[in-house]
A and B are shown apart, each in its own frame.
Chain A
């Protein structure tokens, strides 16, 4: 089986995003960028499946600017075999990304597509579900544990009330949640090796996908800032405050 792993280049999760003064977006100039953390989890899971002998090849895909090559090299250094960059300078919407991924799935015929549940930049939480719909395939979102058995995959999902288990017929789409695994760091020798692994570059037009945005961002603003309140001296003072608020 082949596994396809879409990885997105996003602002590093340690950076505090700043809104641009003109309200046009978030300032990404000179900001550290990394692989979306949920996608690292997806790459890690794909590698573990391969290591367990249940997959032969892992293909990482990124839709994004030329710099997204770095993100793909990280995936290759972790253990992906091959990468595809679909180059676009626009920040494409999940629907457009899903359509590009659909075309790649049709070409590559993976048994499993492993995505992150959410990009920490646009916080959409849509692409995997959209891809599953476009391909008319089953989806296991917010995966906590996955188990492959013959032509099916069992996915334990993190849901609001606890956990839920579903069984999907392969080929299937799975999106990762935080507890699925702890991603490995790429070793230096593997980073060196990754430089020689194949990386194809394509464009959205190669797949005949119309990527025109469907949503117009009118403005991006700062959320209301919370002011720090006061520090109290001791528990007695805290109790008095809490009682004054009528909470207890």
Chain B
């Protein structure tokens, strides 16, 4: 089988999410990559070095600069004439583009693949991960998005793929990129950090969240996450949300602080190796999944913990 993996990048660097998708694709067969962007030859060269990669298809055109689905999907669909599976990371970029590719190919997509069970058989979570479905595709071509925490990352170095330039499919002309507000942070990235400290509604407001969560995260070299309630209330930006409809994380250690443990939150973090919960309610559902629990007022416990670590 020949796969085509969508490389996630910012025209300068290959994003880590790509590497898990490469691993998933390599379980199906030959791995080809698609680098679509503008002035992104450097990305294609870097992508060619990913271990196990065969060909890198480079589409370099201003129309691809901002990964607009309207422009990328026709390109991917065209290249799929010579490939059997389109594989994208289940990031907001992959989720935006892959279903559009699937529809152009008249194929049902399999979302958030967690394991490859056979040529056409995969597992995926449904109902906020409260059930795992094993699904088999009956289609000639596959379109998959891949859950990053479910596959090891392919080695970024060591491969010797070849870069081949492909023709642009042009600009659909119906959408236009305006701007991007990206949070700049020195912290590890939430989905790949080995320690995550998350705060919930109990943190009261943005200042309090910062005052209690940040020093602990600093001490642990951790990424910061949050529950939906904390995001909705504006304590932290939207991209901190961990859960069914936010980010999926599986760090070595996950700290849930003042988070009740709703199923939608658990869906995003219950594959963490060790879960540590601090909550003042001893019956909070988070304690049903926590390896280590402390029933305490976080406003006392967290500063003490930060101090003593």
Chain A residues proximal to chain B, CB less than 8 Å: 11, 13, 16-19, 25-26, 38, 93-95, 98, 117-118, 120-134, 136-142, 144, 154, 157-169, 172, 177-179, 213-223, 226, 228-232, 234-236, 238-239, 241-243, 245, 247-248
Contacts and interface: CB of A to CB of B under 8 A. Distances in A.
Contacts, number: 265
Contacts of B228: 178
29 contacts: A13-B264, A17-B127, A19-B130, A26-B130, A93-B108, A121-B127, A138-B174, A139-B70, A158-B239, A160-B91, A160-B92, A160-B93, A161-B183, A165-B178, A168-B176, A179-B231, A179-B238, A215-B135, A220-B126, A220-B133, A228-B289, A229-B291, A230-B292, A231-B295, A235-B294, A236-B308, A245-B253, A248-B220, A248-B309
B39 interface: no
A2 B241 CA distance: 33
A163 to B, nearest CB: 5
Interface stretch (B25-33, B40-48, B244-252): B244-252
A142 B245 CA distance: 10
B252 A247 contact: yes
A39 to B, nearest CB: 13
B102 interface: yes
B232 A162 contact: no
A160 B294 contact: no
The interface residues of chain B, by DSSP majority, are classed as mixed
A239 B303 CA distance: 12
B92 A159 contact: yes
A227 B44 CA distance: 45
A58 to B, nearest CB: 23
Contacts of A141: 69, 92, 95-96
Interface of B: 68-70, 73, 91-93, 95-104, 106-112, 121, 125-139, 172-183, 191, 195, 219-220, 228, 231-232, 237-239, 241, 244-245, 247, 252-253, 263-264, 270, 274-276, 282, 287-296, 301, 304-305, 308-309
B109 A16 contact: no
Given A164-B181, A223-B132, A235-B304, 17 more contacts: A38-B245, A118-B245, A120-B128, A126-B99, A130-B102, A158-B239, A159-B92, A166-B68, A166-B178, A215-B137, A215-B138, A219-B133, A222-B132, A230-B292, A236-B308, A243-B309, A247-B253
